[in-house]
Amino acid sequence: MDRTVGQLSPDSCIFCAIVAGQAPAVVVYEDAHTMAFMDINPATRGHVLVIPKKHARDIFDVDEEEALHVMRTVVRVAKAIDKALQPDGVNLIQANRRAAFQSVYHFHIHVIPRWWDDGLVPIWRHQREDPQVLREVAAKIREAIG
Ligand code: AMP
Ligand code: ZN
């Protein structure tokens, strides 16, 4: 199956261009490690993207330290959205690889304000799973974490 990782080089990365000031963005927050700016095609009004300034392709490529900085900014942005726009809820969404709908290959977290009538739909259906399968899958993941 297609596990394409997309652009590998920061040279051709639109979010790196935004960090460098070479592409426009409507910025809401910036610090030494992170930037937060408005999504150009928002899912709802107030949809913000939070990125590390240092290029990382996706969750598999990002340093844990950089991810910590990103998460700190995500918390700040979510609280600011809640205060400023008073949504009914907020989703954090983060995509890795094409199969998961990643389209920009610079790690980012979507902070999306939600309203009861915003028309968005859940991205998964809850399904019953055999408890034995749960245990087998968990064992594989535990072993991989090390
Ligand atoms: P994803 O599909 O999770 O990779 O999300 C990429 C997001 O980046 C999409 O929601 C796009 O609308 C957004 N996007 C793409 N280019 C830009 C840009 N130049 N400025 C702001 N947002 C962008
Ligand atoms: Zn980049």
Measure 14 CA to ligand 1 centroid, in angstroms. 9
- Does residue 92 have its Cβ closer than 6 Å to ligand 1? no
Count of domains forming the chain: 1
Is 108 annotated as catalytic? yes
Residue 7 lies in a domain: yes
For residue range 14-30, what is the model confidence (pLDDT) as tens digits? 999 999 999 999 999 99
What range does the domain containing 18 cover?
Answer: 2-121
Measure 54 CA to ligand 2 centroid, in angstroms. 7
Three-state SS at 89 = strand
Ligand nearest to the CA of 26: 1
Measure 49 CA to ligand 2 centroid, in angstroms. 13
Q: Where are the alpha helices (DSSP H) in 5-145?
A: 14-19, 64-85, 131-145
- 63: which residues sit within 8 A by CB, 6+ positions away? 54, 56
Residue 60 lies in a domain: yes
Beta-bridge partner residues of 90: 113
Strand 89-93 with 34-38, pairing:
unpaired
Ligand nearest to the CA of 66: 2
Please say if the pLDDT value at position 4 is more than 60: no
Average pLDDT for residues 115-131, to the nearest whole number? 96
Please say if the pLDDT value at position 46 is more than 60: yes
Residue 142 lies in a domain: no
Confidence of residue 5 (pLDDT cuts 50, 70, 90): low
For residue range 53-78, what is the model confidence (pLDDT) as tens digits? 999 999 999 999 999 999 999 999 99
Residue 22 lies in a domain: yes
Q: Report how far residue 125's alpha carbon sits from residue 111's, in angstroms, rounded to the nearest whole number.
A: 21
pTM > 0.85: yes or no: yes
- 106, 108, 110, 126: the catalytic one is 108
Confidence of residue 6 (pLDDT cuts 50, 70, 90): low
Mean of all residue pLDDT scores within the chain = 95
| Shortest-distance atom of ligand 1 to CA 104 | 4
Residue 50 lies in a domain: yes
Q: What is the pLDDT of residue 100?
A: 97
Cα(first)–Cα(last) distance of the chain, in Å?
27
Residue 127 lies in a domain: no
Residue 35 lies in a domain: yes
Question: 73, 65, 66, 59: which is closest to 31 by C-alpha?
Answer: 73
Residue 16 lies in a domain: yes
- Does residue 95 have its Cβ closer than 6 Å to ligand 1? yes
CATH code of residue 77 = 3.30.428.10
